[in-house]
């Protein structure tokens, strides 16, 4: 008997000639033939991206697939609560950016204030966190891209402050993607904001340490979770989602995490969300001992760790939330032009809205060009302009934060 050999692959890594045998969702409700099909064009890949994060490739039927093997997952499980009404952007990117900037500034100032209070032994004032969180959540509800576009243009000068704001926004955006109620989005954002607040009481030489910590230092580092929970109490944060996110964001799917060593479904969903959000932003951040990953690279790292460190379905939904090329990513086009992703296209995930920075000869555009890949070169048929690769931060000397694009 001949057994089917399948490889699970991200849609963004698919190539022409590969044979799709299964989707990461039911075939029903998609335009694809139930018996499977061969990818014959870039349009097939773009259409798949509108419905799936990953697919299963039949190795025997595929024409010389060049990508590495990926472990076959056990298939989707119903791990998320019932979806509520879908959120849709109700205002444009340019209109929302001023509100996103104001909300971001409020959170950034509060993150600095909390860190100072913790270091100096002052208690947090109840209510101040939610007061700063709610404008950010409202901004994300109105437009899912404005805050992330704005954050891409800002210097990540202090890890602690930036990490708090970024994790807060990522957790709320993830909840929005899952169509969770507004009050849950606020709780997730609150948990994301405070998940590492207790780290301010850890000596800087430990947080900046490069290498393996001794057992005593490791215990001190890991104790930040309990300290963060104490700060939630001081701030009057009683919401279940916020508290479970903070308590569980260092637990891991295989039981290797801390503080309780929980595994699989024993980790509350909020904790599983917190783990993915916290790790993604940590991978993205420059640290004393390493440079941060690109957004695309950080997502790939999470994907490689699925069903080991993180639950597969949570990772896959997070990828769907941010897109193959998240807002703020530097990308190169088939024309040789280079741009930064401004906004996602929910119908065609591989054709986002871009700000083009360099022309085909890698010379700066003046002014920069705002283009929608849905229309850019669409008259060229199969040769339509498309993204060919994600670029590392700083590629071609580009730093969007220094280009004053906002």
- The strand ranges marked E within 253-333 are 330-333
Domain boundaries defined on the chain: 6-58, 93-322, 330-402
- Give the C-alpha separation, 24 to 145, whole Å: 25
Strands 387-390 and 37-38: unpaired
- Give the C-alpha separation, 287 to 381, whole Å: 44
Looking at residue 122, its pLDDT comes to: 87
Give yes or no for a contact between 224 and 201, defined as CB atoms under 8 angstroms apart: yes
Q: What is the dihedral of CA 225, 228, 229, 235, to 10 degrees?
A: -170
Residue 340 or residue 288, greater confidence:
340
Question: What DSSP state is assigned to residue 198?
Answer: G
Strands 6-10 and 54-58: antiparallel
Residue 137 or residue 150, greater confidence:
137
- Rg, Å, the chain Cα set: 22
Neighbours of 218 (CB within 10 A): 13
The model's confidence at residue 127, banded by pLDDT at 50, 70 and 90, is confident
Percentage of the chain lying above the pLDDT 90 cut: 51
- The strand ranges marked E within 201-343 are 330-333, 338-343
Unique residue bearing structure tokens 């295989």? 254
Sign of the dihedral defined by the CA atoms of residues 351, 388, 369, 142, in that order: positive
Neighbours of 101 (CB within 10 A): 18
Residue 66 or residue 276, greater confidence:
276
Tell which residue, 358, 389, 385, has the closest CA to residue 372.
385
Looking at residue 310, its pLDDT comes to: 97
The model's confidence at residue 384, banded by pLDDT at 50, 70 and 90, is confident
Looking at residue 335, its pLDDT comes to: 94
- Give the C-alpha separation, 171 to 239, whole Å: 15
226-269 pLDDT per residue, tens: 999 999 999 999 999 999 999 999 999 999 999 999 999 899 99
- Give the C-alpha separation, 314 to 320, whole Å: 10
Instruction: Estimate the crossing angle of helix 269-284 against helix 159-177, to 10 degrees.
Output: 130
The model's confidence at residue 403, banded by pLDDT at 50, 70 and 90, is low
- 117's tokens: 């209070």
Say how many Å lie between the first and final Cα of the chain, rounded.
Answer: 61
Domain 93-322, second-level architecture: Orthogonal Bundle (1.10)
The model's confidence at residue 354, banded by pLDDT at 50, 70 and 90, is very high
Give yes or no for a contact between 315 and 298, defined as CB atoms under 8 angstroms apart: no
Strands 338-343 and 353-358: antiparallel
pTM for the model stands at: 0.81
Looking at residue 103, its pLDDT comes to: 95
- 230's tokens: 């104490």
As beta bridge partners, residue 390 has 331
Looking at residue 69, its pLDDT comes to: 35
Question: What DSSP state is assigned to residue 171?
Answer: H
Report whether pLDDT(353) > 90: yes
Looking at residue 1, its pLDDT comes to: 42
Looking at residue 404, its pLDDT comes to: 53
Residue 393 or residue 181, greater confidence:
181
Looking at residue 77, its pLDDT comes to: 44
2-54 pLDDT per residue, tens: 456 778 787 877 888 999 998 988 787 788 887 789 998 888 888 888 788 88
Tell which residue, 392, 387, 395, 393, has the closest CA to residue 333.
387
As beta bridge partners, residue 331 has 339, 390
Tell me the pLDDT of the chain averaged across its residues: 86
195-230 pLDDT per residue, tens: 999 988 777 766 666 677 878 888 888 999 999 999
Mean local confidence (pLDDT), 67-92: 62
- Give the C-alpha separation, 204 to 202, whole Å: 6
- Give the C-alpha separation, 269 to 53, whole Å: 20
Instruction: Estimate the crossing angle of helix 182-194 against helix 224-234, to 10 degrees.
Output: 130
């Amino acid at each position: 008997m001949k057994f089917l050999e399948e490889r699970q692959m991200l849609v963004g890594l698919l190539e022409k000639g590969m044979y799709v045998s299964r989707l990461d969702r039911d075939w029903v409700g998609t335009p694809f033939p139930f018996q499977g099909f061969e990818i014959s064009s870039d349009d097939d890949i773009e259409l798949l991206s509108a419905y799936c994060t990953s697919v299963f490739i039949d190795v025997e039927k595929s024409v010389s697939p060049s990508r590495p093997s990926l472990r076959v997952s056990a298939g989707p499980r119903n791990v998320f609560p019932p979806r509520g009404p879908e959120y849709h952007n109700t205002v444009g990117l340019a209109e929302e950016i001023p509100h996103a900037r104001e909300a971001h500034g409020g959170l950034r100032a509060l993150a600095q204030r909390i860190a100072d209070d913790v270091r100096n032994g002052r208690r947090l004032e109840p209510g101040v966190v939610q007061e700063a969180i709610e404008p950010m959540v409202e901004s994300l509800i109105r437009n899912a891209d404005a805050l992330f576009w704005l954050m891409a243009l800002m210097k990540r000068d202090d890890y602690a402050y930036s990490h708090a704001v970024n994790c807060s926004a990522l957790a709320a955006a993830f909840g929005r993607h899952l169509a969770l109620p507004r009050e849950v989005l606020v709780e997730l954002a609150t948990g994301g904001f405070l998940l590492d607040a207790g780290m301010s009481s850890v000596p800087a030489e430990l947080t900046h340490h490069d290498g393996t910590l001794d057992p005593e230092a490791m215990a001190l580092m890991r104790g930040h979770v309990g300290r963060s929970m104490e700060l939630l109490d001081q701030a009057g944060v009683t919401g279940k989602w916020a508290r479970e996110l903070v308590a569980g964001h260092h637990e891991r799917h295989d039981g290797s995490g801390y503080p309780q060593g929980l595994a699989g479904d024993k980790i509350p969903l909020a904790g599983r969300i917190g783990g993915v959000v916290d790790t993604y932003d940590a991978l993205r951040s420059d640290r004393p001992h390493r440079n941060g990953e690109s957004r695309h690279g950080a997502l790939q790292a999470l994907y490689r760790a699925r069903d080991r460190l993180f639950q597969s379905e949570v990772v896959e939904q997070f990828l769907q939330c941010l897109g193959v090329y998240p807002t703020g990513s530097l990308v190169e086009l088939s024309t040789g032009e280079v741009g930064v992703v401004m906004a996602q296209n929910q119908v065609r995930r591989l054709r986002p809205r871009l700000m083009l920075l360099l022309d085909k000869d890698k010379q700066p555009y003046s002014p920069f060009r705002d283009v929608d890949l849905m229309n850019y070169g669409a008259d060229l048929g199969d040769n339509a302009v498309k993204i060919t690769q994600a670029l590392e931060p700083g590629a071609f000397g580009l730093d969007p934060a220094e280009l004053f694009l906002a």
